[in-house]
Amino acid sequence: MSGDPYDGSRALVTGGLGFIGSHLSKRLAALGADVTIVDSLIPEYGGNAFNVRELAGRVHVNYSDIRDPWSIRQLVQGQDYIFNLAGQVSHLDSMEDPQTDLDINCTAQLSLLEALRAKNPGAVIVFAASRQQYGRPRFVPVTEDHPLVPIDVNGINLIAGESYHLLYNEVYGIRATSLRLTNTYGPHLLMKHGRQGFIAVFIRLALEGKPIRVFGDGSQLRDFTYVDDAVEAFLSAAAEPETFGQALNVGGIEPVSLLEVATMCQEIAAEGGTVETAPWPPEREKIDIGSIYVDHSRLTALTGWEPTIGLREGLERTMAFYREHGEHYWHDRPAPVRL
Amino acid sequence: MSGDPYDGSRALVTGGLGFIGSHLSKRLAALGADVTIVDSLIPEYGGNAFNVRELAGRVHVNYSDIRDPWSIRQLVQGQDYIFNLAGQVSHLDSMEDPQTDLDINCTAQLSLLEALRAKNPGAVIVFAASRQQYGRPRFVPVTEDHPLVPIDVNGINLIAGESYHLLYNEVYGIRATSLRLTNTYGPHLLMKHGRQGFIAVFIRLALEGKPIRVFGDGSQLRDFTYVDDAVEAFLSAAAEPETFGQALNVGGIEPVSLLEVATMCQEIAAEGGTVETAPWPPEREKIDIGSIYVDHSRLTALTGWEPTIGLREGLERTMAFYREHGEHYWHDRPAPVRL
């Protein structure tokens, strides 16, 4: 897509030190936008100052929690675009600490929208939602009209967070779009624990030459979006008024089974690790959803967006990144980076 | 239905000084239950000590706000049944103060369920949800499978509140049911302001001999549940394990147009008031949803519940009640009642 809508614009990226947010911030800066990152660097979440090491001096970094309504009220002012990626994204964490998930994914979202309504109603805002909202799929590929019957607290709260955005579009004319992301992966993905999704676990185990354990028979299908493709989805959606008021799926090129993904990770890493299947642990089986992949044709029809990076190529790039920079991602406390 | 399941049981009614909660508490006490009412008597909400004037000494009243997790943690213990009716129910208020709606309808619900999971996982809980969750109907009568696309903050938050209950059933085995109520009416309905629904406004205007203004052409259909029927729906659902994990509509005998309801109110009141139609005020039109009425056949199939009181009879009973006791409902500060 053309960089024109972003050249000279002002863009706020919540969660901008995180996985997708950091790539998006870098791309926006390259397109000529004046970028402000807001991030709280909660240790167990995906924010990592190393993610924006190349942007020092080129973006504004504002340390703040989106649960703090006063700083958000300041930060939304004067922005043309708000890419709203700050969130609690671990399904397991949402079951163990549901209140924190609610605070971040519901309360903070509503207060951000109230701030926008009061202080900057003309901005465009794109919310990072999730296919977790669909729950166990009744059909695949899952379209946006699939019933929303989530099977964890995170899914319930993301539905509310997304719904506030769409409601504020409908009632107040806030130009809001929600993108329902699937398994996004790539460099900058949180690696210091495995609570935000299996793909990080697979990549790290493969790089360490350890066996990857796949629960069940490994035939469950998933789709995968390489992070650069996800970034383009955000840019495309924000630039196309036809997306406003809609929730749109962001998928991958084709669904792949967990067993295939695990095998591919081991092949690319080539560290001698194996793939094993194992019975479901009870607490995980309860929130498993079988095969799921999404239909993103609606986003394509509206914006022309298509995923372009296949899983093998994406994994190769990702593993190359972690071979070089893994030290900044393996542990809880990465070396401080001056921004 | 038989009173057997409740005789000798312990029942907690959140919002028990309110409209439906007070009738439910009275009926539970009559069935032999040991009833604890929890209510905060927030002035602008429906709680009114006069509602339980006949229950003094027969029920426990605990003043507490469901947003206070510590008192709720105590109160859920030892209960066989929890009728969870405390909520913010004004659609207009949810748009003007969305955060309070979220605190009550999401945060407090989640914390109540966490308390139940920790302290009394064997209890039965029935949540008071709303047809507001459906938004603008795509078909009528609305079944439980109708998409949930709410058009106000209250609808969004009730979906989350309901979803927590159903999730805690699915994942933790909490015996939870959600009842999606339509326009419930009858004695004890809040009358001191008109922010909780049009039926109270119509009744009060008719009793005062004032004109009733119907927005649009008045042809919008609604269904109405007399409060005694709603109470039986709660009792039936809690007593039938087949309802656990489900969200079920509670409707009326037949849909009636707003113009008919208004006319019926004036006929029954016989105070000389008229019915006028008027164009929609813009802020109300935004959250209007046209005709809506629900299909409650699923609840009927599971429990045998059916509405039994027609609208005319119900309105006659309601008006008779307010002719006698209106002084306790017309104003913000009813005379204190010793409980």
CB B26 within 8 A of CB B11: no
pLDDT tens across A309-326, in order? 999 999 999 999 999 999
The number of folded domains in chain B is: 1
Report if residue B335 sits inside a domain: no
Average pLDDT score over residue span A158-187: 97
Q: Say if residue A139's pLDDT is above 50.
A: yes
Cβ contact A164–B150 (<8 Å):
no
Q: How far A84 CA lies from chain B's nearest CA (Å)?
A: 19
**Closest of A106, A97, A103 to residue A162, by C-alpha:** A106
Look at residue A295 in the predicted model and tell me its pLDDT: 98
Look at residue A216 in the predicted model and tell me its pLDDT: 87
What six digits make up the tokens of A9? 């614009």
Q: How far A71 CA lies from chain B's nearest CA (Å)?
A: 17
Chain A 179-238, CB below 8 Å of chain B: which residues? none
Q: How far B162 CA lies from chain A's nearest CA (Å)?
A: 10
Closest by Cβ to B170, choosing from A151, A157, A170: A151
CB B221 within 8 A of CB B184: no
Q: Give the DSSP per-residue string, A267-327.
A: HHH-SS--EEEEPPPHHHHTT---S--B--HHHHHHH-------HHHHHHHHHHHHHHHGG
Cβ contact A171–B147 (<8 Å):
no
Report if residue B4 sits inside a domain: no
Cβ contact A160–B164 (<8 Å):
no
| Helix or strand (DSSP H, E) at B115 | helix B108-119
CB B79 within 8 A of CB B10: yes
On average, the pLDDT of chain A sits at 94
Report if residue A334 sits inside a domain: no
Alpha-carbon gap, residue B246 to B266, rounded angstroms: 39
Q: Which chain B residue is nearest to residue A96, measuring alpha carbons?
A: B114
Cβ contact B160–A164 (<8 Å):
no
**Domain interval for residue A249:** 10-328
A49-80 as b/e, with b when 16 or more CB fall inside 10 Å? bbbbeebeeebbbbebbbbebebbbebbeebb
Average pLDDT score over residue span A326-337: 73
More confident residue, A45 or A158: A158
Report if residue B279 sits inside a domain: yes
Cβ neighbours of A99 in B, within 8 Å: 107, 110-111, 114
Q: Say if residue A335's pLDDT is above 70.
A: no
Query: Mutate which of A167, A170, A178, A246 to disrupt the B interface (most B C-beta within 10 Å)?
Result: A167
Alpha-carbon gap, residue B330 to A161, rounded angstroms: 38
Look at residue B304 in the predicted model and tell me its pLDDT: 98
Q: Say if residue A293's pLDDT is above 70.
A: yes
Q: Is the pTM of this model over 0.80?
A: yes
Closest by Cβ to A156, choosing from B107, B151, B160: B160
Report if residue A5 sits inside a domain: no
CB A310 within 8 A of CB A253: yes
Cβ neighbours of A152 in B, within 8 Å: 167, 171
CB B228 within 8 A of CB B77: no
On average, the pLDDT of chain B sits at 94
Report if residue B274 sits inside a domain: yes
Q: Say if residue B339's pLDDT is above 80.
A: no
Report if residue B314 sits inside a domain: yes
A339 by Cβ neighbours in 10 Å (0-12 / 13-18 / 19+) ranks as middle
B25-35 as b/e, with b when 16 or more CB fall inside 10 Å? bbbbbebebbb
Average pLDDT score over residue span B296-319: 98
pLDDT tens across B43-94, in order? 888 899 999 999 988 999 999 999 999 999 999 999 999 999 999 988 889 9
Q: Say if residue A1's pLDDT is above 50.
A: no
Average pLDDT score over residue span A150-170: 97
CB A218 within 8 A of CB A277: yes
pLDDT tens across A232-288, in order? 999 999 999 999 999 999 999 999 999 999 999 999 999 999 999 999 888 777 667
Q: How many CB pairs under 8 A join A and B?
A: 72
Cβ neighbours of A156 in B, within 8 Å: 160, 163-164, 167
Model ipTM value: 0.91
| Helix or strand (DSSP H, E) at A93 | helix A91-96
Look at residue B1 in the predicted model and tell me its pLDDT: 46
Look at residue A288 in the predicted model and tell me its pLDDT: 72
B100 vs A: CB within 8 A: no
Cβ contact B106–A106 (<8 Å):
yes
Q: Say if residue A19's pLDDT is above 50.
A: yes
Look at residue B73 in the predicted model and tell me its pLDDT: 95
φ, ψ for residue A262, nearest 5 deg: -60, -45
B143 vs A: CB within 8 A: no
Report if residue B336 sits inside a domain: no
Alpha-carbon gap, residue A142 to A222, rounded angstroms: 11
pLDDT tens across B170-224, in order? 999 999 999 999 999 999 999 988 888 889 999 999 999 999 999 888 999 999 9
Look at residue B169 in the predicted model and tell me its pLDDT: 97
Q: What is the CATH number of the domain that holds A138?
A: 3.40.50.720
CB B101 within 8 A of CB B113: no
Amino acid at B83: F
